[in-house]
Amino acid sequence: QDVTLNIESWRGDDLAIWKDKLIPAFEAKNPGIKVVFAPSAPTEYDAALGAKLAAGSAGDLITCRPFDKSLELFKKGNLADISTLPGMENFSDVAKAAWQTDDGKASFCVPMASVIHGFIYNKDAFDQLGIKVPTTNEEFYAALDKIKADGTYIPMAMGTKDLWEAATMGYQNIGPNYWKGEEGRAALIKGEQKLTDPDWVAPYAELAKWKDYLGDGFEAQTYPDSQNLFTLGRAAIYPAGSWEIGLFNTQAQFKMGAFPPPVQKAGDTCYISDHTDIGMGLNAASKNADAAKTFLSWVASPDFATIYANALPGFFSLNSTPVKMEDPLAQEFVSWRDKCKSTIRSTYQILSRGTPNLENETWVESANVINGTDTPEAAAKKLQDGLDSWYKPAK
């Protein structure tokens, strides 16, 4: 009797990859286990999953959001403890941190991938305008000015309508260079730094300057608009997450390159956001726990990592075993791991547990800053006030 495992996921995008590559690969090795990948729309995923878990009709395998969302599920007993799952040894502590209890004692999801922020640019446009890839802020703005002066291209493709684009591709993208990556993030959690400190306000000040380089009516520009604007060749620079690579490769008719967030001045250490983004856990109520564990172990294996990372360039494996990737743009992104210091997004761990929710507020404020409806200082103060209202860092 075959066992059928259902995977809950928000990654409808990956349906084809699972169906055509990953599942056949697994099923070939594990006869008797059938796997069904059943994604729901990303906007509904958390709510739907929560309901299904509560009522006991959720799938066996659960795709995990990083940090608190999954931690909450684990605390409720919906996710099984898989600390001892064969294969978990393939991951570094950093990689596992996103799906562990605060004390690090229990792991509940197998890390699958992280994403890296940076900028993708239109190489043809840069060549045509004679622009060198910027490494410092100065060069960055010089490049933008030049593109703007030329007028063929919109300097930068970003909109604030969807809010998260401003926060994730803007603030979290360039921020680590100012707050010094993990160092600043940890200090913030400890309460040693405040969001109103200059290091945290500075990225907002930069964002405020971006306004001039965005397309007309960027206030109403949505995320897909930005993607289209760039891939249709109408914009020169795209503040990106590495996940765009796959899509851009198929859609853009021009050569692309990527550069990490520019540093303040030449010679500064560079920091990148290398964010643990997706994992997979086991539904504690699964009736097929054994088969599911077999599957999870396979997910933790280098085999999976290789297929996954190559099928989805831009989702970088967290496996300790290095994965060989074919895509040049993906290689470019992952190469920054060696040059720069990695960090995760500042708001994800611990700080978004209360009300108001720091992450949500960061979205809103980042957009406000770019729209010019809030000054960087005002934005930072709002965020800090919100955080203060519930977050009492253990001294």
Partner 1 sequence: MSTATRSLPRTIGAHAILLTYTAIALFPVVIVIVNSFKSRAAIFGAPLTPPTPKTFDLIGYTTVIGQGDFIHYFQNSLVVTVASLFFVLLFGAMAAFALSEYRFRGNSLMGLYLALGIMIPIRLATVAILQLMVASGLVNTLTALILVYTAQGLPLAVFILSEFMKQVSDDLKNAGRIDGLSEYTIFFRLVLPLVRPSMATVAVFTMIPIWNDLWFPLILAPSEETKTVTLGAQLFLGQFVTNWNAILAALSLAIMPVLILYVIFSRQLIRGITSGAVK
Partner 2 sequence: MAAAPKRPFRWHIGVFLAPAVLVYTAIMILPLAGTLQLSLFRNINQSQVFVGLENFRMLFGDPNWSVNFWNALRNNVWFFIIHMLVQNPIGVLLAALLSSPRLRFSAFYRTAIFVPTILSFVIVGFAWKLILSPLWGVAPNLMDLVGLKSLFTPWLGKEQYALTTLSLISVWQFVGIPMMLIYAALLSIPDEVIEAAECDGITGMSQFWKIKLPLILPSIGIISILTFVGNFNAFDLIYTAQGALAGPNYSTDILGTFLYRAFFGFQLQVGDPNMGAAIATMMFLIILGGVCVYLFLVQTRLRRYQF
Residues that bind partner 2 (CB under 8 A): 43, 46-47, 50, 67-69, 72, 75-77, 159-164, 215-222, 225, 228-229, 347-348, 352-353, 355-360, 363-364, 367-368, 371, 373-374, 386, 389-390
Distance in Å, CB of 235 to partner 2, minimum: 10
The amino acid present at 373, given as its one-letter code, is T
**Residue 249 vs 357, nearer CB to partner 2:** 357
> Which of positions 42-81 make contact with partner 1 (CB under 8 A)?
42-44, 47-48, 50-52, 54-57
Short-list 359, 361, 346, 350, CA closest to 391: 350
Q: Binder to partner 1 among 21, 27, 34, 39 (CB under 8 A)?
A: 39
Distance of CA 391 to the CA centre of its chain: 24
Q: Binder to partner 1 among 243, 271, 316, 336 (CB under 8 A)?
A: 243
Distance in Å, CB of 391 to partner 2, minimum: 12
Distance in Å, CB of 59 to partner 1, minimum: 9
Q: Binder to partner 1 among 20, 24, 32, 38 (CB under 8 A)?
A: 38
**Dihedral over Cα of 178, 182, 183, 185: its sign:** positive
> Is residue 86 within 8 Å of 80, Cβ to Cβ?
no
**Residue 14 vs 332, nearer CB to partner 1:** 14
| H or E segment to which residue 102 belongs | none
Short-list 12, 62, 116, 6, CA closest to 343: 116
**Residue 251 vs 269, nearer CB to partner 1:** 251
What does the block give as tokens for 186? Answer: 């940890």
Residue 333's Cβ-side half-sphere holds a number of Cα atoms within 13 Å equal to 32
CA-derived radius of gyration, the chain = 21
Q: Does 249 bind partner 1 (CB under 8 A)?
A: no
> Is residue 142 within 8 Å of 133, Cβ to Cβ?
no
Q: What are phi and psi of 246, to 5 degrees?
A: -55, -50
**Residue 51 vs 220, nearer CB to partner 1:** 51
Q: Binder to partner 1 among 60, 199, 244, 365 (CB under 8 A)?
A: 244
**Residue 196 vs 371, nearer CB to partner 2:** 371
Cα 132 from Cα 187, distance rounded (Å): 35
Q: Of partner 2, partner 1, none, which one sits near residue 211, judging by CB under 5 to 8 A according to partner kind?
A: none
Q: Binder to partner 1 among 66, 134, 241, 386 (CB under 8 A)?
A: 241
Cα 65 from Cα 277, distance rounded (Å): 7
Q: What are phi and psi of 67, to 5 degrees?
A: 60, -130
Distance in Å, CB of 41 to partner 1, minimum: 5
Cα 111 from Cα 91, distance rounded (Å): 8
User: Which residues contact partner 1 by CB under 8 A?
Assistant: 10-13, 15, 36, 38-44, 47-48, 50-52, 54-57, 223-225, 227-228, 232, 241, 243-244, 246-247, 251
